[in-house]
Amino acid sequence: MSRAFVRESDSSSLPELPPPVSPLPPGTKNLLTPGGAQRLREELTRRLESERPPLAAAPTDDVDAKRELQVLDQRIRYLQESLRTAEIAPVTPGPAEVVHFGTTVTVREKDGLVTSYRIVGVDETDLDRNWVSWLSPLARALANARVGDRVQFKAPRGVRELEIVAIAGEP
């Protein structure tokens, strides 16, 4: 029978998902804050112990469960590799003299808008919380700046100037 007449759900095997691609450029350190490493370990444990068993026990003809298991296994492999290659960078609590990995920096824009950004590892990036990767243009522009310094960086909407208002270590 021609494959054109076989429903996708009749297929017993799913195509392999491509391996996840690391957002890190080759040769770049995989820095994580201690808190970030802990969150990744907790996610890995949750996925292995709570999410995977029911999917692995699904009937062999449940294509949706098998696809979900593939996606979950891909995330598990990614987390395992990220944690295997991670370098946990020590971060200091309290005020900091300069902006570096793990610090939270508060900046003021020319229009007076004040925003705080935390410099974290690529696997910790969370734009909803203003946690930016240490490899981002913003973090690179802020690196080694001190309170009172003004830095410029190229944003999608043009060059922005930011004044450093405060720098703090790990909360």
In this structure, the answer to whether residues 83 and 138 fall within a common structural domain is no
In this structure, the answer to whether residues 74 and 121 fall within a common structural domain is no
Sheet containing 114-120: give its strands across. 131-133, 114-120, 104-109, 158-168, 150-155
pTM listed for this prediction:
0.81
- For 149, the domain range is 104-168
Q: Which of 1-10, 55-64, 140-149 has the lowest mean pLDDT?
A: 1-10
CATH number at residue 54: 1.10.287.180
Number of Cβ within 10 Å of residue 23's Cβ equals: 14
Q: Is residue 96 part of a domain?
A: no
Q: Is residue 155 part of a domain?
A: yes
Spatial separation of the C-alpha atoms in residues 107 and 96, rounded to whole Å? 14
12 pLDDT tier (thresholds 50, 70, 90) = low
Are 108 and 87 in contact, with CB atoms under 8 Å apart? no
Q: Is residue 84 part of a domain?
A: yes
4 pLDDT tier (thresholds 50, 70, 90) = low
Average pLDDT value for the chain: 89
Q: Burial, 51: exposed, middle or buried (Cβ in 10 Å; 0-12, 13-18, 19+)?
A: middle
11 pLDDT tier (thresholds 50, 70, 90) = very low
Classify the C-alpha dihedral 96-145-33-31 as positive or negative: negative
Q: What's the average model confidence in pLDDT over 86-92?
A: 90
Number of Cβ within 10 Å of residue 4's Cβ equals: 5
Residue 20 in tokens: 């996840």
Q: Burial, 53: exposed, middle or buried (Cβ in 10 Å; 0-12, 13-18, 19+)?
A: exposed
Q: Is residue 57 part of a domain?
A: yes
Domains in the chain, number: 2
Last residue of a domain, one of 90, 116, 131: 90
Q: What's the average model confidence in pLDDT over 141-154?
A: 96
In this structure, the answer to whether residues 82 and 110 fall within a common structural domain is no
In this structure, the answer to whether residues 85 and 42 fall within a common structural domain is yes
Q: Is residue 6 part of a domain?
A: no
Number of Cβ within 10 Å of residue 36's Cβ equals: 24
SS3 for 133? strand
Query: At 107, which helix (H) or strand (E)?
Result: strand 104-109
**What was the pLDDT predicted at 53?**
94
CA 30 to chain centre: 11
Q: Is residue 36 part of a domain?
A: yes
**What was the pLDDT predicted at 17?**
77
In this structure, the answer to whether residues 116 and 147 fall within a common structural domain is yes
**What was the pLDDT predicted at 92?**
79
Last residue of a domain, one of 90, 114, 130: 90
Are 52 and 72 in contact, with CB atoms under 8 Å apart? yes
pLDDT tens digit string along 120-136?
999 999 999 999 999 99
In this structure, the answer to whether residues 74 and 108 fall within a common structural domain is no
